[in-house]
């Protein structure tokens, strides 16, 4: 029996009237009249980024891969808990490495793969499981351009691989205040450890990006100068954004910081793509100030899902650094 499904340029294409539904980790092709047709197909791990076509996303085309489901860093502002059940509980993906090897042969290698845009590729459990490292070995053997996005200093463990790859590493630093970082990001490495990781990677010739996000009014909005200044000699590019609320992360923030003016500001903002944004004028002011600090230090700058393309001096996610690293 012919299946109403095909692949075109690494994307799944279904015949009109058919849907792909998830059941116990497998995708099934179905329609309302006849139910499941054909065999089960494992969900793809390497997918094109931004499946929701966010109108404020300025990322160039790329793939996305999360080595783990969920992230145990437990950041209060994290939004994955709004769409990943038990998002702060890390789980392993079945047959991960076997599936990655297979899918790597099917993707367009002109595009890079970003790890990761939801779950951090270097949670504490990575030290035991080493799955991100194994994926990097696969990518290295297949010459896959790679973006790594993390808030963990564990990334330096893989310096032997990264120094030989076409890769860019982005490390998130939200605050330099150790006590605040421990409250916001309870199981992530300290800001000092992340700064040391940036320095180690940069000295080894690995292009690095500082992710200064989210900027949270009343908590971290006065730290742009100090954070960028501390990282300036170890990075080439800065990407920044403001806090965006989902009901679950907003509840966590309200419980941890009940007196924060942030909640009043959010009520004055707007809803975009399922997120509650801060007022546009405030967001613009924060991003302009951050851009000014970057200009002072000779760093390129971009925003993430803010809608201020005119402030960008390079690609938002650092893909321009991959081209320079080829």
Question: Is residue 16 domain-shared with residue 108, that is, in the same domain?
Answer: no
- Which comes out higher in pLDDT, residue 39 or 80? 80
This prediction has a pTM of: 0.86
**What's the pLDDT tens digit per position in 159-205?**
999 999 999 999 999 999 999 999 999 999 999 999 999 999 999 99
Question: Is residue 28 domain-shared with residue 173, that is, in the same domain?
Answer: no
Kindly tell me if the per-residue pLDDT of 48 is higher than 50. Answer: yes
Question: Is residue 34 domain-shared with residue 155, that is, in the same domain?
Answer: no
| Residue 175 burial by Cβ neighbours in a 10 Å radius (0-12, 13-18, 19+) | buried
- Which comes out higher in pLDDT, residue 39 or 163? 163
Confidence bin at 24 (pLDDT 50/70/90):
very low
Question: Is residue 117 domain-shared with residue 218, that is, in the same domain?
Answer: yes
Find out whether 239 and 302 touch, Cβ atoms under 8 Å: yes
Question: Is residue 34 domain-shared with residue 101, that is, in the same domain?
Answer: no
**What is the number of domains present in the chain?**
2
68: nearest Cα among 54, 56, 84, 57: 84
Question: Is residue 129 domain-shared with residue 32, that is, in the same domain?
Answer: no
Question: Is residue 14 domain-shared with residue 84, that is, in the same domain?
Answer: no
Kindly tell me if the per-residue pLDDT of 6 is higher than 50. Answer: no
**What's the pLDDT tens digit per position in 66-114?**
999 999 999 999 999 988 999 999 999 999 999 999 999 999 999 999 9
Domain with 272 in it: 44-324
Query: Which residues sit opposite 150 in a β-bridge?
Result: 171
Question: Is residue 38 domain-shared with residue 61, that is, in the same domain?
Answer: no
- Interatomic CA distance for residues 272 and 278, integer angstroms: 10
Question: Is residue 165 domain-shared with residue 55, that is, in the same domain?
Answer: yes
Helix axis angle, 280-297 to 224-231, nearest 10°: 30
Question: Is residue 215 domain-shared with residue 228, that is, in the same domain?
Answer: yes
Question: Is residue 2 domain-shared with residue 126, that is, in the same domain?
Answer: no
Question: Is residue 104 domain-shared with residue 176, that is, in the same domain?
Answer: yes
Mean pLDDT over 132-145 rounds to 97
Chain-centre distance for alpha carbon 291 = 21
């Amino acid at each position: 029996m012919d299946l109403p499904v095909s692949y075109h340029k690494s994307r799944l294409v279904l015949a009109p009237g058919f849907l792909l539904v998830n059941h116990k980790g497998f995708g099934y092709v179905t329609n309302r009249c006849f139910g499941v047709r054909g065999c089960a197909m494992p969900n793809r791990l390497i997918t094109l980024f931004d499946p929701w076509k966010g109108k404020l996303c300025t990322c160039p085309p790329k793939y996305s891969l999360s080595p783990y489901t969920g992230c145990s860093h437990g950041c209060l502002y994290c939004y994955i808990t709004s769409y990943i059940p038990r998002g702060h509980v890390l789980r392993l993906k079945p047959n991960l490495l076997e599936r990655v090897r297979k899918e790597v042969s099917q993707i367009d290698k002109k595009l890079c793969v970003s790890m990761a845009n939801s779950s951090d590729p270097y949670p504490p459990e990575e030290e035991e499981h080493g799955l991100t490292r194994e994926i990097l070995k696969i990518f290295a053997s297949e010459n896959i351009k790679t973006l790594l996005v993390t808030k963990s200093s564990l990334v330096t463990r893989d310096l032997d691989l990264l120094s030989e790859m076409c890769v860019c590493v982005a490390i998130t630093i939200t605050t330099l205040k150790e006590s605040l970082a421990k409250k916001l990001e309870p199981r992530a490495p300290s800001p000092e450890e992340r700064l040391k990781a940036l320095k180690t990677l940069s000295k080894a010739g690995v292009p690095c990006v500082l992710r200064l996000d989210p900027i949270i009014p009343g908590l971290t909005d006065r730290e742009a100068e100090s954070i960028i200044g501390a990282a300036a000699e170890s990075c080439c590019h800065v990407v920044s954004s403001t806090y965006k609320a989902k009901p679950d992360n907003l509840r966590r923030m309200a419980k941890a910081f009940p007196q924060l003016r942030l909640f009043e500001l959010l009520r004055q903002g707007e809803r975009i793509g399922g997120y509650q944004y801060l007022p546009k004028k405030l967001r613009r002011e924060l991003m302009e100030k951050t851009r000014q600090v970057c200009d002072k230090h000779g760093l390129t700058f971009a925003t993430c899902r803010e809608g201020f393309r005119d402030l960008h001096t390079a690609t938002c996610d650092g893909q321009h650094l991959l081209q320079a690293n080829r």
